[in-house]
Amino acid sequence: MIKVGIIGATGYAGGELVRLLAAHREAEIVWYGSRSYIEKKYSDVYQNMFEIVEDECLDDNMEALADKADVIFTATPQGFCASVMNENILSRTKMIDLSADFRIKDVSVYEKWYGMEHKSPRFIGEAVYGLCEVNREQVKTARLVANPGCYTTCSILTAYPLAKEGIIDMSTLIVDAKSGTSGAGRGAKVPNLFCEVNENIKAYGVASHRHTPEIEEQLTYASGEDTVISFTPHLVPMNRGILATEYAALKKDVTYGDVKAIYDKYYKDETFVRVLKEGICPETKWVEGSNYVDINFKIDPRTNRIIMMGAIDNLVKGAAGQAVQNMNIMFGLKENEGLNLIPMFP
């Protein structure tokens, strides 16, 4: 059994890690780390775990945890993982960080967008960007995996095949995305109160959202072109889900069959990417509670543009599910172990 430690186990992503790993046949959680609930029973924090998880929450002592765990998940705010990372920890255990601390290779870009000094830049080069469908081979041998963000997972996977094949003009890419409120975390914030969110939709982080450079960097690698995007996220009154609608100019004349063949080339053997039938648009309700990404596209010959669409559950494929998928790859397990989750409906 893989011994697993979770720091930040009582946040939304951490709670989702617990839910997934509790049903994982090859993993055992040995540390439920939570600075806010030390010595409180985990099931008293999340009542859905009553008579399933009997353990108490522990602190966030990574040094002590490294002696107990084969892998540590850090579902923590930006800056925490980088502030405690050292060679002594990495020499004893593997790390999967769900924050942005090791996602961006240029430390100056990270510091600009996140407004903080990076505390362990020496590990950025080693960290593998854990987008499983793209970097699977690098993940297999990694000690440190940077688990991608939720908006970025959906946005990158939706556009990746066309960027890789040089079909779209990367200077024209626009990403319009919507997210449920769990993407903002479990902390108490006035903008996330029911009366503030219900019966409302709003844009936020306009021209300034932190996931922008992450999307740009990864699509630059894919396309070989310096990619600068317009990215606008929106908050919608639902618990889970991300829908990304992306627009780009076509660099050549293509038919539906041409584009479908490109998506099939990259995703036909991917368990968790579903390229939908012609004319079917992705919807968040059909991926909720699962690790699936639903993708489709529409060519608009009138404007010489292509509209690409993707939907994920932000807490599963956008966070905890992808983290477990990375763990499975790192330890040579079946990639879908613990992730055979049929989407919930209604």
Q: How far apart are CA 223 and CA 173, in angstroms?
A: 12
Q: How far apart are CA 153 and CA 147, in angstroms?
A: 9
Alpha helices in the chain (DSSP H): 12-22, 42-45, 62-66, 80-84, 87-90, 107-114, 132-140, 150-164, 194-197, 212-223, 256-267, 321-330
Q: Given the DSSP bridges, would you call strands 230-235 and 128-129 parallel, antiparallel or unpaired? A: unpaired
Q: How far apart are CA 191 and CA 201, in angstroms?
A: 12
The neighbouring-strand residues paired with 300 are: 305
- Residue 308, number of CB atoms within 10 A of its CB: 28
Please say if 150 is a catalytic residue.
yes
Residue recorded with tokens 């172990």: 337
Active-site residue identified among 57, 81, 132, 150: 150
Sign of the four-CA dihedral 320, 325, 330, 332: positive
Q: How far apart are CA 249 and CA 168, in angstroms?
A: 6
- Point out the residues that are catalytic: 150
